[in-house]
A and B are shown apart, each in its own frame.
Chain A
Amino acid sequence: MNQLAIPHDHLETLELKNTLKKQKILRWLKGMLFLAPSIILFSIFLFYPLARSIYLSFFLTNNTGVPTVFVGFENYINIFTSPIFRNSLQSTFLFVLYTVPGAIIISLFLAIIANEKLKGIGFFRTMFSSTMGISVAAASVFWMFLFHPTMGWLNQILSYVGVDAIGWLTDPKWALLSVSISTIWMNIGFTFLILLGGLQSIDRYLYESADIDGAGYFYQLRRITLPMLSPTLFFVITVALINAFQTFGQIDMLTRGGPQNQTNLLVYSIYREAFMNYQYGPASAQAIVLFIIILIITLIQFKLGERKVHYQ
């Protein structure tokens, strides 16, 4: 009996396996059907350009971008030995270091004070988030006037105080800082708005119970506000980091990568290499390097973030 039963059982499991497999395939096809629109769009606008960039980065091209000579990894070797590219990497990291914490700390401060229930607070909330409505181009023009070496307000104020004029955008020591200041100003609106939204969604009861327990304002800030805000902060930091690495508009408007390539951030350097020098190969290699940098940073961030972020 037993001897007969075993093959019978075996047959049954086989059948079961087959139906399971069929169902699996069917489910996979269904899933793909739902995913198809985004897969197609991503392929056209993201995967294809990415693959094309990788392909181009192994070639030299003519002025129209048609690959002509295969050079293997030479473009990569060249950009990493070039002092200009190393300088541009350094500037990019410095820029990220200035703008991301700068914008987030200021916005967090503004969001916390704008979260108080006061008369007319709506006016201040509108003011603080208003830079979100200003395009990079318009904001850059505005800052260009402020930074003007002789007629700019900043230098005029300095001269009233009796301090020597500063070459905000022309002095290599200041240019990156100046661009960072204007970028922080531009980013405050968006960051402020998201953080304020995060603050408002924190449950009031938490504060009430803390009040009853006799916790002070700063204790509440540290123990309730910041932990409850951490998912929002995490989102804001991720977006701000990626944005900072991809900064282009204000560089193009304010400094065009100068003085002495001090503000030649990665994306601007790619633009310059591809569309001003017509070196699409080396430009693609730089783009791939940027992609890898952002990829690594995002991965690290998610690994770290998982531990620190408190989701409800």
Chain B
Amino acid sequence: MKKGILFIGMFVFLLMIVGCEEGDASPVQNENDATQTDAQDLTEDNEPVVVTFWHAMGGALEEALEELVNHFNAAQDEIYVNAEYQGTYDEALTKFHSIAGTDNAPTMMQVFEIGTKSMINSGAIEPIQTFIDQDNYDMSKLEENIVNYYKIDDQFYSMPFNSSTPVMYYNKEAFVNAGLDPDTAPTTFEEVEKASKAIVDANPDMKGFSLLAYGWLYEQLLANQGALLMNNDNGRTATPTEVGFTEEQGKSVFQWVERMIEDQTFANYGTSGDNMISGFLSGDVAMFMASSANVKNVIDNAPFEVGVGFIPYPENIERAGVVIGGASLWMMSGVDEHEQQAAWEFMKYLQTPEIQAQWHVGTGYFAINPEAYEEQVVLDAYQVLPQLKVTVDQLQSTTPSYATEGALMDMIPEARRITETALETVFHGGDVDQAYQDVVDQINAAIQQANRARGE
């Protein structure tokens, strides 16, 4: 008995100790980088200023980025940019949150677009606007749609960097075999269904279309119908309190997939983009949607001719366009001013037309600085790969509106996982009405929880 009381007493004591240190960094420790912290010590006259740059570009994209960084480091000797891969966007953001405001924080970091609100709320960042004002830097030369996304309350919090939109890839050879015109991609949901049927009829071993269970694609298909993801103008005028799309808009994507499953023209690759692309390359499916950042990679690896088109929309609705995806660069507030200035130089360097041209051609992300499209590298590349141009056209023909500006909210990553589960349910023949209702209920609950947690 006595032992029990003693135990409980000690336990309560332990809880109290734990409770006393609210403001402490989260218990999750970041194991990496003892090396970067001494960057501050290096600001002697002839030593270069070291800028630590966290990014989330893996594989072929990492190589392309490394090339830009090496180019920058070789061109001058005052600044040395140390680029470090930190895993996927999600993982990198998690790492940042656990070390935000400490000495382990990088100088600058690449964060995906839906992390924007979360970064602002973290309080550990310096808005890019500070440096824009200081230099009178001209942001208007950047692509208008990108400026629309990243300009929040007339302020730039971060520097746009890599932006992509989803495009539809299709197998031209399969189109020819099915008696379809290989030079025009189907533009509406209904046309995609028809084309899929023709493809399956011509070749029973090939499925017509595949949609990845990826929340981002669902958001894009909504935006393309002019639908808002969140209310309060996609969170642009006030913090969202619930979802912003109507039942018709929200269900349309599910119903579209359901119809293709009935026709047995739909290929299900779940949530694995790699599997889907390898399925496309080996001729198991004729059409799929993915980020334009894959254009170069897919075309290089396909044994057939690849067509690239705009993403589809329901027939009875006008096409509204796409939301820019991708990421932007954030400046941290707790670091040395020399480092900040050095990072700012690097950010400006990345905006230059030459660099953007190289980046666009090398990856399929579009150039955020439209002047890049005049560069010879780009013009040459378009001769060889005209498909690269589709993504640019799609973005430039987008109607600016709250829907295509994209939603601003800190729990969007969670919303994406909710829609992904619903998409998978539909892919496996689940009830569309139920799946849709789950999406709405769960996202609304998540929004409310997030608002409460912020004390609003």
Contact = CB atoms under 8 A, between A and B. Distances in A.
A63 interface: yes
A63 B122 CA distance: 7
Given A62-B121, A280-B26, A68 B455 contact: yes
Could you say which of B90, B97, B446 has the most chain A C-beta atoms within 10 Å of its C-beta? B97
Nearest to A55: B18
B329 interface: no
Tell me if B's interface is mostly helix, strand, loop or mixed: helix
Interface stretch (A92-100, A144-152, A194-202, A304-312): A144-152
A49 B427 CA distance: 40
A170 B270 contact: yes
Interface stretch (B276-284, B297-305, B338-346, B380-388): B276-284
Interface stretch (A26-34, A109-117, A203-211, A258-266): A258-266
A54 B14 CA distance: 11
Given A276-B413, A277-B414, A260 B425 contact: yes
Closest 6 CB pairs of A and B: A65-B26, A170-B270, A60-B453, A277-B414, A275-B94, A51-B14
B22 interface: yes
B417 A167 contact: no
Contacts of B94: 275-276, 278
A170 B270 CA distance: 5
Contacts of A47: 14
Contacts of B14: 47-48, 51
A249 interface: no
A275 to B, nearest CB: 4
Chain B interface bracket (under 10, 10 to 19, 20 to 34, 35 or more): 35 or more
A49 B18 CA distance: 9
Interface residues of A, number: 39
B335 to A, nearest CB: 17
Given A65-B98, A169-B270, 16 more contacts: A48-B18, A51-B14, A52-B27, A55-B15, A62-B453, A63-B118, A68-B454, A68-B455, A167-B268, A170-B272, A258-B424, A259-B270, A259-B271, A260-B428, A276-B414, A278-B118
Interface in B127-178: none
B452 interface: yes
A171 interface: yes
A279 B451 CA distance: 12
Contacts of A60: 449, 452-453
B193 interface: no
Contact of A150 (B97, B122, B282, B427): B282
A87 to B, nearest CB: 10
B268 A170 contact: yes
A250 interface: no
A284 to B, nearest CB: 10
Contacts, number: 117
A258 B420 contact: yes
Could you say which of B122, B279, B411, B449 has the most chain A C-beta atoms within 10 Å of its C-beta? B449
A60 B449 CA distance: 8
A64 B22 contact: no
Interface in B77-95: 90-91, 94
A141 B120 CA distance: 37
B410 to A, nearest CB: 6
Interface in B13-28: 14-15, 17-19, 22-28
B8 to A, nearest CB: 13
A69 B453 CA distance: 6
Interface in B256-294: 268-272, 275, 278-279, 282, 284
A64 B26 contact: yes
Nearest to A71: B452
A150 B285 CA distance: 10
Contacts of B23: 66
Contacts of A169: 270, 272
A279 B98 CA distance: 13
B424 A260 contact: yes
29 contacts: A51-B17, A51-B18, A54-B15, A60-B449, A60-B452, A61-B453, A62-B121, A63-B121, A65-B25, A65-B97, A65-B98, A66-B22, A66-B26, A148-B278, A149-B279, A150-B284, A151-B282, A169-B272, A172-B424, A172-B428, A258-B213, A259-B270, A259-B271, A261-B421, A275-B90, A275-B94, A276-B94, A277-B414, A277-B417
A256 interface: yes
Nearest to B101: A64
Interface string A269-306: 00010011111110000000000000000000000000
Nearest to B446: A277
A272 B417 contact: yes
A67 interface: yes
Given A55-B18, A149-B269, A258-B213, A64 B122 contact: yes
Contacts of A68: 453-455
Nearest to B279: A150
B22 A67 contact: yes
A188 to B, nearest CB: 26
Contacts of A272: 417
B56 interface: no
B275 A148 contact: yes
A90 B15 CA distance: 31
B109 interface: no
Contact of A69 (B24, B420, B455): B455
